[in-house]
A and B are shown apart, each in its own frame.
Chain A
Amino acid sequence: MATPLEQLISMRNEAITRLWEHKYTTATRISVGAATCEHAAGSKAVWELLAHIKAGGGLDGVHIGQVGCVGRCDMEPMVEVVRAREIPAKYVKVTPEKMRRIIEEHIYGGKVIEEWTLNE
């Protein structure tokens, strides 16, 4: 019988395969901070906006996901945008209004809105 380690490794490979399909190979990924602190700062509204757009058939080919907090309390809500061939951008103090512009200019337009990104 397979050892616990062997079982774990095949379990991991299955997990990675699933992630490949849903996430890693998606050209654009958006991760929204989701923790007590992020929620208090207003990240739920940003998440709901993205989920709403997605449910309406928008953001095609874009993966949206949630992550815990990275510890930058003063900069929350934080949203990370990862696009193929680009350095990931971490947007800070994101509101639904800002998110709309990020989608338009960065996700669709390919232009990072530098002044809204974490720079220190």
Chain B
Amino acid sequence: MSKKNHKHRVVAVCLGPSCRKKGGQALFDNLKVEIQRAHLSESVEVVETGCRGLCARGPVAHVYPDNITYCRLTPNDATRIVQGHLVSGHPMEDKVSHADRIANRSFRLFGDARFFGKQLRLTLRNCGVIDPENIDEYLAVRGYEALAKSLTGMKPEEVIQAMRDSGLRGRGGGGFPTGVKWNFAATQKADTKYIICNADEGDPGAFMDRSAIEGDPHTILEGMAIGGYAIGAHQGYIYIRAEYPLAVKRLEIALEQARAHNLIGKDILGSGFDFDIEVRLGAGAFVCGEETALIHSIEGERGTPRPRPPYPSVEGLWGKPTVINNVETWANVPVIILDGPEWFASIGTADSKGTKVFAVAGKVRNTGLVEVPMGMTLREIVYDVAGGVEGGRSLKAIQTGGPSGGCIPAQYLDTPVDYESLKGIGSIMGSGGLIVMDETTCMVDVAKYFLEFTMNESCGKCTPCREGTKRMYEILERITSGRGEEHDIELLEELGETVKFASLCGLGQTAPNPILSTIRHFRDEYVAHTRQKRCPAGVCTQLITYEINDACIGCGACARKCPVKCISGETRKLHTIDQSKCIKCGECFAACRFDAVTRS
């Protein structure tokens, strides 16, 4: 095998079943003949490879080290590859694969499965494809080329312009235009500037950033270095929670390897540009994901937010201009530089460009992490990518944006996913949480779940958030336990608007969203809980009543299962439940084979 080393070039021809059927074998044979005829046998090797998932464009061949993929080849193309490319150095432009774009460079098979077919993996392009602990694998798929390209032929202003032209917006939740943010920091006069990667990822159930870092840590480092070059910063920080030990380890390994290759550190690739990165661990408080609280935490202060303005791009870490972006935002940067802002801007909708990663969870068949182009409808994400609702039940709502977001009812399933359209229906894009709910989900209970989270995570600095979330939680508790009054709904709305309006940071400003959006779209469920003391989904245990009807044959199965022995009755006679002792566990309901136990 080591003989490959002596060759200057390798032409790898795919001889997977599909390519072979379309003439791959003849191409392979012709290449060998042509190479011999051109007296290149000493320097060029023709090898066969297995399928690379480009079957639709086959037969395909890849030339190393030029890293050019040809597609839709015919056996006759062998002459052109050898004479034109290998001898004269002119690749056959008309057959160079567009799969060569960074977006499609995952050579392995993805297209085989429906789950991947509709995805567009830009930021996750290498996740699950390369070995994240070996920099060679990242380099081989054009890793750090975007940084080298920026340092070679682009002025910092041009890098910023590319970001602006791409239309990239922050993926951490807010959706602020990245190029505009960079420009603010770049135009500040200051001796020192900083770059921060926000990898706090505090939303419950979210794991987009963790996965991205664990699968492809170098992309984040590369993006940050490009950002540093663009705004004139020489130091970057990655703020990541200590609960992510594997991600931290992979970042440290990546940093060490990048420094050893002079891709991070002093005088990067001989360009004169210095940039280093340090990993800072957070203790895992949700509020520390908020940018000003995060900056305080890095400074060694208590992680509480402060009013903005001034924004971090003007006055950030240690008072210096600082660009802080989310992990996914940074991962987009090399893609934009490599494939160009125009191409990037061609993906998505008018105001939301590129892709978005979602962590799909809940009552869905294929839970997992997906990356889809902006503008895909919620229906496509849930049904085509994630395989539809579990157990064939009907979809009731989709929650996006986690504790800062809202619930979108089924009638809006055809809404294209972008920042504005989600806002328009009372939710937000958020950082990528997407929970699918079916008819067995109680919307009041969902709102209570998220509110309990924000109440516990409120840092306590400002009163509206600290007290407001607590009072709203108490009202929700009242409603779900059957002690609520109808005017509690209006009270929640009023309180919610006040907390939104008066809170200091995004935590409080968005905490009421899960409540307000569920009231907006599912008011009848709130009314059922308060007026009829009934939970339509049968989730709020204190509102459920189990009863035994005439279908009872007196078999005693329920009575034997009842953990508190509150079911009585003679054998072969109608049984009854003592409501004062019933703990609503549902065991009797599950045990009855005659549909005699009812739940209401």
Q: Which of A20, A70, A88 contacts B4 (CB 8 A)?
A: A20
**Is there a chain B Cβ closer than 8 Å to A60's Cβ?**
no
In the complex, A78 Cα to B301 Cα: how many Å?
42
Bound: A90/B128 CA distance, A = 11
Q: Which residues of B contact A72 (CB under 8 A)?
A: 115, 366, 368
**Given the known A-B contacts A65-B131, A90-B109, are A82 and B50 also in contact in the complex, defined by CB atoms under 8 Å?**
yes
Chain B residue nearest to A83 (CB atoms) is B50
Contact A12 B139 (CB under 8 A): yes
Which residues of chain B are within 8 angstroms of A97 by Cβ–Cβ distance?
A: none
Give the distance in Å from the alpha carbon of A26 to the alpha carbon of B47 in the complex.
11
Question: CB within 8 A of A11: which of B18, B53, B151, B261?
Answer: B261
Cβ-neighbour of B370 out of A6, A7, A25, A71 (below 8 A): A71
**Interface contact B366-A68, CB-CB below 8 Å:** no
Residues of chain A lying within 8 A (CB to CB) of residue B327: none
Take A67-B132, A82-B108 as given contacts and tell me if A73 and B369 are in contact as well, using a CB distance cutoff of 8 Å: yes
Interchain CB contact under 8 A, B136 and A15:
yes
Question: In A47-88, which residues have CB < 8 Å from any B CB?
Answer: 65-75, 78, 80, 82-88
Q: Which of B208-216, B515-523, B533-541 has 4 or more CB atoms under 8 Å from chain A?
A: B208-216
Q: Collect the chain B residues with CB atoms within 8 Å of residue A85's CB.
A: 15-17, 20, 48, 50
Cα–Cα, bound, A67→B215 (Å): 7
A8 touches B145 (CB 8 A): yes
Query: Is A21's CB under 8 angstroms from B1's CB?
Result: yes
* Complex Cα–Cα for A66 and B108 (A): 14
Determine which residue in B18, B65, B261 has the highest number of CB atoms from chain A within 10 A of its CB, and name it.
B65
B113 at the interface (CB under 8 A from A): yes
What's the Cα separation between A69 and B260 when bound, in Å? 26
Judge if A45 is at the interface, Cβ distance under 8 Å.
no
Chain B, residues 343-368, CB within 8 Å of chain A (1/0): the string is 00000000000000000000001111
| Closest beta carbon of chain A to B278's beta carbon, Å | 22
What residue of chain B has the Cβ atom nearest to residue A18's Cβ?
B136
Minimum distance in angstroms from B462 CB to a CB of chain A: 34
Choose the segment among B268-276, B286-294, B444-452 that binds chain A (4+ C-beta atoms closer than 8 Å). B268-276
B16 x A86 contact (CB < 8 A)? yes
Residues of B contacting A66 in the complex (Cβ-Cβ under 8 angstroms):
131-133
Interface residue? B130 (CB, 8 A): yes
Q: A13, B65: Cβ atoms under 8 Å?
A: yes
Give chain B residues whose Cβ lies under 8 Å from the Cβ of A113.
Answer: none
Tell me, in angstroms, the Cα distance from A6 to B140 when the chains sit together.
15
CB atoms of B10 and A20 under 8 A apart: yes
A68 and B261 contact, CB distance less than 8 A = no
Tell me whether A20 and B64 are in contact (CB under 8 A): yes
Known: A15-B139, A83-B50. A4 touches B130 (CB 8 A): no
Q: How many angstroms between the C-alpha atoms of A66 and B211 in the bound complex?
A: 14
Give chain B residues whose Cβ lies under 8 Å from the Cβ of A87: 16-18, 50-51, 109, 112
Q: How far is it, in angstroms, between the C-alpha of A88 and the C-alpha of B106 when the chains are bound? A: 13
Q: Is B224 an interface residue (CB 8 A)?
A: no
Return chain A residues, CB-CB under 8 Å to B99: none
Binary flags per residue of B140-169, CB closer than 8 Å to A gives 1, else 0:
101111011101110000000000000000
A73 to B128 alpha-carbon distance, docked (Å): 12
Q: B367 to A35, Cβ gap below 8 A?
A: no
CB nearest to B129 among chain A residues: A67
* Contact mask for chain B residues 239-282; partner A; CB cutoff 8 A; 1 contact, 0 none: 00000101100000000000001000000111100000000000
Expressed in whole angstroms, the Cα–Cα distance for A4 and B127 within the complex equals: 26
Return the CB mask of A27-53 against B: 1 if under 8 Å, else 0.
Answer: 000010101110100000000000000
Q: B441 to chain A: closest CB distance in Å?
A: 19
Is A115 an interface residue when CB atoms closer than 8 A count as contact?
A: no
Question: By the criterion CB–CB under 8 Å, are A7 and B270 in contact?
Answer: yes
Known contacts A67-B215, A87-B16, A88-B50; A74/B148 CB under 8 A? no
Query: B residues touching A (Cβ–Cβ < 8 Å)?
Result: 1-2, 4-5, 10, 12, 15-18, 20, 47-51, 53, 64-65, 67, 108-110, 112-116, 124, 126-133, 135-137, 139-140, 142-145, 147-149, 151-153, 207, 210-211, 214-216, 244, 246-247, 261, 268-271, 365-370, 387
What are 12 A-to-B residue pairs whose CB atoms are below 8 Å? A3-B148, A4-B271, A5-B149, A12-B145, A26-B1, A74-B366, A86-B51, A87-B112, A88-B50, A88-B51, A90-B112, A118-B112
* Residues of A bordering B, CB below 8 Å: 1-9, 11-13, 15-21, 24-26, 31, 33, 35-37, 39, 65-75, 78, 80, 82-88, 90, 118-120
